[in-house]
Amino acid sequence: MSNPDIALTKEQGSKSTWKFLLGELKPRGKYFTPFNVISVPVIILGLVIIVIRFAKGLGAVTNLSQEVPWGLWIGFDVVTGVAFAGGAYVITFLVYILNMKKYQSIVRVTVLNGFLAYVFYAGALLLDLGKPWNVVNPIIGNSFGVSSVLFLVAWHFLLYMLAQLIEFSPAVAEWLGARRARKILAGMTIGAVIFGITLSTLHQSGLGALYLMAKEKIHPLWYSEFIPILFFVSSIFAGLSMVIFEGSISYKVFSSQISEKNHKSHHDIINGLAKICTITLYVYLFLQVLAFVHSKNWAYLNTRMGHWYLVEMIGFIIVPMVLFFYSYRKYNILLVKIASIITMLGVIINRLNVTVIGFKWDAAQHYYPSWKEIVVTLTVIFIEIWIFRWIINRMPVLRESPSWAKSH
Amino acid sequence: MNINRRNFLKALGLTGVAVGAGKQLNAASVKKDSDKEFYGILYDSTRCAGCQGCEWECALQHGLPDPDIEDVPIVGEKRKTNENRRSVINVYDTSKGEVYVKNQCMHCNQPACASACLTQAMHKTEEGPVIWRDEKCMGCRYCMVSCPYDVPKFDYHSSNPDIQKCDMCWDRVKEGQLPACVEGCPADALTFGPRRELIAEARRRINENPDLYHDHIYGEHEAGGTGFLYLSPVPFEEIGFNTSIMNKPYPELTKGFLYSVPSIFVLWPAMLVGIQKATSGKNNQNDEDYE
């Protein structure tokens, strides 16, 4: 991120570039916040577990088996994490394609969140690979498995990370005071946005399409040829719920950075997003019903898995949909936040149902994540939040851009 | 900010690249193998005596640990292949007495594992065997998720883990030799040859001895046809076969999705540019002008 080439043109004439960057690396703020006290031990423990994982193999830390080769690290970190990162393409669509300037103030923080989510959750994939040093094979060389959905997803992850980096790069340039670089990078935004939305459509659905070949392994209530479309539509409200949730925390934690004007407009933004969530949840519900009727799975409804399916459909789709609708009409921000949390839980449940809970549901031995898998997952999330906080405190993400960057 | 010429051309350029990439993707999934015939193996469970000779030959051939002498097929206990063995014999109590069944990779005509593999580590050779290539594999285990028979096995206790699966002794087949298990079978239960001839042979055996055989060649149509073919005295569900396996090739399940990729890559950017153009200017007067 701290590219010295860009930094060469920065403003602070008195200090050297390197001194500036070194100074910026130092932590700011209090050391003993509740978050730090909890996250630091978890991160240290997680790093130890990661070392063991690479020294002794996946079996030493995970509960994965020959029957269940993908567990929490794929089902939650990658599949669910990427769904939550969907907010970035939805918000850039609203702002740059539909020209809804109302959402302009949350573009940067959402894109930053999306970018970090991809870096860390797709990065978590490396922990899960048996031979991570061969990860370049689908990208460079002569080993392109072009008929693979995973090949498509891998390329899209890579390209989308680049697109998001370009979308976010003006903030980096403003931090470094690189005027010329900012102008060039800002000019690339719209192209990156269009490219990024296209990539997102395909790999959000692609994550679902990964499971299409596991036809007999996934519980019939969660397997259908609609999986790719369901994953795509749910990534819209998953991403937006994350934006609402993350936004309400950021606006408290980083309150001092946010201008009076943006503080005021934030409620309008949340309310607008609630409306979009209502509509997409409704579309999603309709598609789920369609998939259910289409596959004639009535007989499964009155089984244990069937009850669990109904809990997901009613408790985590219909309930938040009604809540979003009601709170949007009444302009009840607290209720929107509650609905977004229920929606997020629903997305986690749905993704885990497809990838972990419903996968080999009829096997004698079920998969449960080990505590080590959970600690590593938390480590990944905590490190991401650390980096997020580091960037927010330095770059103009939530706070206003410097005055020179506004006029052009 | 209105869309200008430069941005429009940029988007157009991206679309062009996408179309190119899309074509390549399409072309690969319809690629035909050459006119060489696939080899396969016919396993006749009416001849198998369950001696496990094939297990020993396999371990010897592929440098795997010797099978445990006390680990013999027992009714009601399903032995499975794992990271240390590529082939196992099981026994089932059926309506016609005890029947032995060999389990290993089915060597599908259109393998799910190979189409799932993003590095071509899993590969359907022109000779028929489905092989795994160490130097290409990144250990993602998507082959294991995709294989309807749960064949590929992963070494969870190694820092450089391999995928273990039957490769029909591809090294030997290339040099005109028989696979180790076929050569070592004392009961003549295994026959190696071109798949078409094996099906004819299997049909001949059923016709000549209709009382001995259940009238079905497992693998002729299952999963779109497999290289390993089975004859059994009883219906296949009695000897532990998964009856929910569909009769078309598994890669077809993802075909629809993969085919839609190029069209989305063409339509989306064009549509997005169109919408962007249509909506810009609407709110410009009361908003600051952002890039």
Spell out the domain ranges in chain B.
39-239
First-last CA distance in chain B: 6
Residues of chain A with Cβ-Cβ distance to B85 below 8 Å are none
Q: Looking at residues A227-240, what average pLDDT do you find?
A: 96
pLDDT of B192-237, one tens digit each?
A: 999 999 999 999 999 999 999 999 999 999 999 999 999 999 999 9
ipTM comes to 0.89
What Å distances lie between residue A271 and A308, A318, B5, CA to CA?
Answer: 31, 19, 35
Residues from chain A that touch B142, judged by Cβ atoms under 8 A, are 148, 150, 210
Residues 40-99, chain B, touching A (beta carbon < 8 A): 80, 82-83
Q: Give the mean pLDDT of chain A.
A: 90
Residue A174, pLDDT score: 92
pLDDT digits (tens, 9 = 90+) for A59-84: 999 999 999 999 999 999 999 999 99
Measured in degrees and rounded to the nearest 5, phi and psi for residue B80 equal -125, 155
Residues of B in contact with A70 (CB under 8 A): 141, 145
- Give the phi and the psi of residue B33 in degrees, each rounded to 5: -75, 165
Buried b (16+ CB within 10 A) or exposed e, B131-169: bbeeebbbbbbbbbbbbbbbbbbbbbeeeebbbbbbbbb
Q: For residue A191, which of B16, B27, B181 has the smallest C-alpha distance?
A: B16
| Cβ proximity of A189 and A89 under 8 Å | no
How far is it, in rounded angstroms, from Cα B253 to Cα B223? 11
Find chain B residues with C-beta within 8 A of A198's C-beta.
Answer: 18, 264-265, 268-269, 272
* Cβ separation A194–B28 shorter than 8 A: no
Which segment of A126-140, A222-236, B4-18 scores lowest on mean pLDDT?
B4-18
Record: contact B158-A67, CB cut-off 8 A: no
Instruction: Give the residues across from B124 on adjacent strands.
Output: B130
The per-residue pLDDT for A121 is 84
What is the per-residue pLDDT across A90-115, written as a single tens digit (0 to 9) for each?
A: 999 999 999 999 999 999 999 999 99
Q: How far is A51 from chain B (nearest CA, A)?
A: 11
B140 close contact with A: CB closer than 8 A: yes
Return all residues near B196 (Cβ < 8 A) that are at least 6 apart. Answer: B37
CB contact under 8 A, B254 and A225: no
Distance separating alpha carbons of residues A107 and A90, to the nearest angstrom: 10
The CATH number of A34-57+71-363+374-398 is: 1.20.1630.10
Report the residue of chain B nearest A94, measured CA to CA: B276
Among B9, B15, B141, B241, pick the best mutation site for testing chain A contact (most A Cβ within 10 A). Answer: B141
What pLDDT score does A407 carry? 53
* Euclidean distance between CA atoms B90 and B68, whole angstroms: 15
Q: CA A147 to CA A152: how far, in whole Å?
A: 9
Q: Residue A254: name the closest of A397, A382, A113 by CA.
A: A397
Q: Do B159 and A55 touch (CB under 8 A)?
A: yes
Whole-number pLDDT of residue B5: 54
Q: What is the C-alpha end-to-end distance of chain A, expressed in Å?
A: 24
The CB-based long-range contact list for B79-84 (8 Å cut-off, 24+ gap) reads B80/A66, B81/B151, B81/B153, B81/B164, B81/B165, B81/B166, B82/A66, B82/B153, B82/B164, B83/A66, B83/B153, B83/B154, B83/B155, B83/B156, B83/B161, B83/B162, B83/B164, B84/B164
CB atoms within 10 A of CB A385: 15
- Give the orientation angle of helix B252-279 with respect to helix A149-176, to 10 degrees: 30
pLDDT confidence of residue B62? 95
Q: Which two tokens mark B113?
A: 């594992």
The pLDDT assigned to A297 comes to 83
Class of domain B39-239: alpha beta
B174: CB partners within 8 A, 6+ apart:
B127
Distance from CA of B78 to the nearest CA of A (A): 12
B288 pLDDT exceeds 60?
Answer: no
Q: Which residues in B lie closer than 8 A to residue A97 (C-beta atoms)?
A: 272, 275-276, 279
* CA–CA distance, B188 with B47 (Å, rounded to integer): 7
- pLDDT 10s digits, B133-177: 999 999 999 999 999 999 999 999 999 999 999 999 999 999 999
Residue A68 in tokens: 């269940």
- Could you say which of A101, A134, A198 has the minimum Cβ distance to residue B137? A134
* Whole-structure pTM value: 0.88
Q: Is the pLDDT of residue A349 over 90?
A: yes
Contacts of B273 in chain A (CB under 8 A): 194
Contacts of A207 (CB under 8 A, 6+ apart): A78, A79, A82, A83, A153, A231
Judged by CB atoms closer than 8 Å, whether chains meet at B268 and A146 is answered as no
Confirm if A392 and A109 have CB atoms less than 8 A apart: yes
The neighbouring-strand residues paired with B108 are: B226
Q: How confident is the model at residue B273 (pLDDT cuts 50, 70, 90)?
A: very high
Distance of CA B190 to the CA centre of its chain: 21
Nearest-CB residue to B273 (from A152, A194, A214): A194
CB B249 within 8 A of CB B33: no
Q: Contact B140/A129, CB-based, under 8 Å? A: yes
Closest chain A C-alpha to B28 CA, distance in angstroms: 6
Q: Indicate yes or no: CB of A154 within 8 angstroms of CB of B244.
A: no
Task: Tell me the count of A-B CB pairs closer than 8 A.
Answer: 202
* Rounded distance between C-alpha atoms, residue A65 and residue A80, angstroms: 21
pLDDT in tens, B93-125: 999 999 999 999 999 999 999 999 999 999 999
Are B115 and A148 in contact (CB < 8 Å)? yes
CA distance A172 to A193: 17
Whether residue A56 and residue B161 make contact (CB cut-off 8 A), yes or no, is: no
- Could you tell me if A301 and A310 are in contact, meaning their C-beta atoms sit under 8 angstroms apart? yes
Name which of B7, B146, B257 is nearest A190 (Cβ-Cβ).
B7
Q: What is the CB neighbour count within 10 angstroms for residue A161?
A: 18
Distance in Å, alpha carbon of B162 to nearest chain A alpha carbon: 8
Pairwise CB contact (< 8 Å): A210 & B121: no
Cα distance between residue B124 and residue B170, in whole Å? 11
